[in-house]
Amino acid sequence: MKHNAQQSKDATSRRSFLRKGLAVGGAGTIGAGLLANGFNGLPVFAEVGSASLTRGDVAILRFLAAIEIIESDLWQQYNELGGIQDSEVPGGSGSAAYTKALQVLDGDMSQYIHDNTEDEFSHMRFINEYLASQGAEPVNLDRFRTLPSSRATGAQQIGRLTNLMQLTVDTSWWSRYRSRTRNPDLGDTFPQAIPSLSTGKFPAIPRNDGDLTPANHIQAIANTAGFHFGFIEQGGTSLYPTLAQGVTNLEVLRILLSIGPTETQHFQTWQDKAGNAPALTDPTNGLVFPNLNASPFGGEDFQTNLIMPEPTVFLSRKFPTVSIIRPTEIGGSGGAVATVRAFTADGLFIGQSRELLAVLSGLAVQADAARRG
């Protein structure tokens, strides 16, 4: 971490140097010696790259870095209690009762949680290091790691960016990917798979060891996590292709096109596992998980084995239906501002300072404003 901090400081000073150089007389004023040997001991590649990235590309990468930091923070909390704690994803020691309840959704749940967590950390580190390599400022949200950890046995006691203990989970992604006639980019709306989870506030991790019983309470917490995993990763699934349309540089486009589909792989997995969440009512708070294969649910909008996207309308209702990621409209419900809004409505930032939301919103507005060329 120390190394990163130093590197980002160097990157910042290098950037302001370049700005000044460019302001005075364009790239030609940068000395031949600098181009040959690099600046601050860094390779020449970085200098060339920093001149080639547009403000829009930097804005897109910086917003994605912020989102990956947030994802890493929340996935870390899930992994500490319900994943696999090892050298790849260190921290925490697991909660046996929570892990067991998650495994009702799939026997491999702990491995999937671990791997999703590792992926988000890798996305966060890569995008920030790439920004620094291009002379752009990486994103650091460490000063906002102020929220309390779960008090359940197995969680580390450290400051967090996100709150997983008062979630209001939008589960309309479930019916959105099952609809053959509607698309959010065409103004359509979608019913909730778990209506009572989309109102009220529910924990997705045990808040303390008191949450480990009764059985239907800890299972409801695991079910909530199962649907929350899908909510988070369908967000990334739309965010990357949406922002990719505003990218100018081919290498930056390659980054978005290479990371984005891994979010979709996560989403596909979580959509399958959420369908295994057992129907139940939490006796402590009345949260209901219905049988999605039975009336009034069931059918194409809810049937649990329809985990691949149903073909739907795209661009215009005059075209034949097509199997697609949805939404993907620039500035639409899959854009950067919409992502911050959705994460906020999810309850992830309950207890956070307004400053964090201001920082995220500022990054989001700039990312949505990016245009090719």
| Cβ proximity to Fe ion, 264 vs 312, nearer residue | 264
Question: 68 or 282: whose CB is closer to Fe ion?
Answer: 68
CA–CA distance, 156 with 164 (Å, rounded to integer): 14
CB of 257 to Fe ion, least distance (A): 14
Least Cβ distance, residue 240 to Fe ion (angstroms): 9
Write down the least CB distance from residue 123 to Fe ion, Å: 4
Question: Using CB under 5 A as the criterion, which residues of the chain lie in contact with Fe ion when the complex forms?
Answer: 68, 120, 123
From the list 49, 23, 24, the residue with the least C-alpha distance to 35 is 49
Closest CA to 133 of 32, 251, 213, 34: 251
Write out the two tokens for 53: 């990235």
Minimum CB separation of residue 334 from Fe ion in Å reads 15
The dihedral through the CA atoms of 217, 222, 225, 230 has a sign that is negative
Shortest reach from residue 62's CB to Fe ion, in Å: 15
Are 314 and 327 contacting, i.e. CB atoms less than 8 angstroms apart?
A: no
Residues 6+ apart with CB under 8 A from 219: 101, 104, 278, 280
Residue 258 near residue 308, CB atoms below 8 Å:
no
Adjacent-strand bridge partners of 147: 160
DSSP conformation letters of 22-74: HHHH-GGGS-HHHHHH-STT--HHHHHHHHHS-HHHHHHHHHHHHHHHHHHHH
CB of 71 to Fe ion, least distance (A): 5
Residue nearest to Fe ion (CB): 123
The tokens describing 348, both together, are: 């992830």
